[in-house]
Amino acid sequence: MKKPVFILLLLIFIIQAQRPCYAQGSWERIEVPTLHDLNSIFFVDSITGWAVGDSGTILHTSNGGVEWRVQQSHTANDIVYVFFLNDQVGWASSINFSILPYGTLLLKTTNGGEDWTSEVYPTENIFISCILFLDSLNGWMGGIPHALVHTTDGGNQWHQADIDTSTLAFFPVLSIQFYNEQYGYASGGIFDIAGVTWHTSNGGEKWYAIESNEAPADEVHALHLFDSTHVMGVGGDPDFGYGVGLLRTFNGGSHWEYEEIGIQGNAWDVDFVNSNEVWAPLGNRRKFIYSTDTGSTWTQISTPDETAIYDVTFPDSLHGYAAGDEGAMLRFKPVTPVGFEITEDLSKGFVLYQNYPNPFKSHTMVAFHIPIEQPDNALVQIKIYTIEGNEVALLMQENCSSGKHHMDIDTTGWPGGIYYYRLTVGNTFVGTRRMVLMP
């Protein structure tokens, strides 16, 4: 080997070794009562969610995906998107390609999906592909072949947004996100023609499309907003030689940079577990890509059972869900240190509850239950560990009577991150749970 090449490889090895090392979670398949393709999934918190799909499919879970129940949509059309403002009020878009006039049937519920009402979107041949409501009155939708529409009365009336007249202004809209009431972004485009982003800094009064010389050749399927000016979009071209692409702006959409990451496929969605770990599904490539350094470097892995996954969501840093073809539903398994299995239901009457709130800033509450069969004054010990498994605090070591107990945890001055708390009673190991301290 020539000496300059050896030195270069040595430098690369040193740089890689000095990079911060983060662990990533994994995925498991869970059962749902359908074999229809699932197109969209939405969770309002870690346990309450909905998934929608072909042939009017709507599924609902209220226990974190352990059980799913079919809700009646009263349509046989494919449902392509679902959004919930809270655990009661939600919307979905159903595409009508079967009966003239073609268009969109908008579904709405005000009781968590127990009942869905429907209304035909007033413009024919517009197929709504994404929905976002900022509150009960103000909402946005995007569609195909061109639609970026706004309501101020809860969806009774929709109005086309004011968009600049650039070449790419009136392309299909596939995703809409708002950072706050003023700053919003949308993405879309047409395969093999152009990928497009739009941005607004005045609450949607005016939208501006990406400059054509900065636009990628294929759709931008989804966006992640780091803040009001830093945004990442994903897409790509499954044709040989192109692959997954990332589009970024650091100045609020005035300038965008596109890069191909060297992995074959097309990213259909993107979401972050925490500030570092991000996942994107590659659809019919039957793979995920993930990054543990905020998207600087990426790794691809096969999906469980090699299922085709198109939508992914993380309602918090401890829970994630993904959906795709033929009733594919996945649940995220966060990484845990060796010997730190997260316990949900504890045997013999012991219970270690999830801390609340979680995530938290400086104070959180931990509760546990000791069964009455235990002798009074059982020695209770609670310890906290880092994600690497190192003990950082002994919270409690004292005798406690049977029954439920609460204690406040003060983490003022601790660095933000993932921690684990473990409960033992006497010589009995009870369980471990995970908590997230925000920086």
Cβ atoms 189, 195 nearer than 8 A = yes
pLDDT confidence band for 434 (50 / 70 / 90): confident
pLDDT tens digits, one per residue of 215-236: 999 999 999 999 999 999 999 9
- Distance from C-alpha of 235 to C-alpha of 243, rounded to nearest angstrom: 9
The pLDDT, as a whole number, for residue 340 is 54
In this prediction, residues 179-190 reach a mean pLDDT of 97
Among 300, 267, 259, CA closest to 283 = 267
pLDDT tens digits, one per residue of 75-125: 999 999 999 999 999 999 999 998 999 999 999 999 999 999 999 999 999
**94: Cα within 13 Å, side-chain hemisphere:** 25
Ranking 49-53, 148-152, 166-170 by mean pLDDT, the lowest is: 166-170
Instruction: Please give the C-alpha separations between residue 43 and each of 342, 364, 416, in angstroms, as whole numbers.
Output: 22, 23, 25
Sheet containing 57-61: which strands, arranged edge to edge? 38-43, 49-53, 57-61, 69-71
In this prediction, residues 5-20 reach a mean pLDDT of 36
pLDDT confidence band for 386 (50 / 70 / 90): confident
Average pLDDT, the chain: 88
The pLDDT, as a whole number, for residue 402 is 80
Q: What is the CATH number of domain 347-437?
A: 2.60.40.380
The pLDDT, as a whole number, for residue 19 is 37
The pLDDT, as a whole number, for residue 9 is 36
pLDDT tens digits, one per residue of 270-301: 999 888 899 999 999 999 999 988 999 999 99
pLDDT at 407 over 80: yes
Q: Which CATH number fits domain 21-333: 3.30.70.260, 3.30.930.10, 2.130.10.10, 3.30.300.20?
A: 2.130.10.10
The pLDDT, as a whole number, for residue 210 is 97
In this prediction, residues 168-196 reach a mean pLDDT of 96
| Burial class of 340 by CB neighbour count within 10 A (0 to 12, 13 to 18, 19+) | middle
In this prediction, residues 186-202 reach a mean pLDDT of 96
Query: Any long-range contacts for 63-70 (C-beta under 8 Å, 24+ apart)?
Result: 64/319, 64/331, 65/30, 65/321, 65/329, 65/331, 66/30, 68/31, 68/32, 68/33, 68/329, 69/33, 70/33, 70/34
The pLDDT, as a whole number, for residue 14 is 33
> Which amino acid does the sequence have at 318?
L
pLDDT at 338 over 60: no
pLDDT at 347 over 60: no
Domain edges within the chain = 21-333, 347-437
Residue 171, C-beta contacts closer than 8 angstroms, at least 6 positions apart:
146, 188, 189, 190, 194, 196, 209
The pLDDT, as a whole number, for residue 12 is 34
The pLDDT, as a whole number, for residue 317 is 77
pLDDT confidence band for 369 (50 / 70 / 90): confident
Cβ atoms 209, 197 nearer than 8 A = yes
pLDDT tens digits, one per residue of 15-70: 333 333 344 678 999 999 999 999 999 999 888 999 999 999 999 999 889 899 99
In this prediction, residues 349-365 reach a mean pLDDT of 84
Percent of the chain with pLDDT over 90: 65
Residue 239, C-beta contacts closer than 8 angstroms, at least 6 positions apart:
none
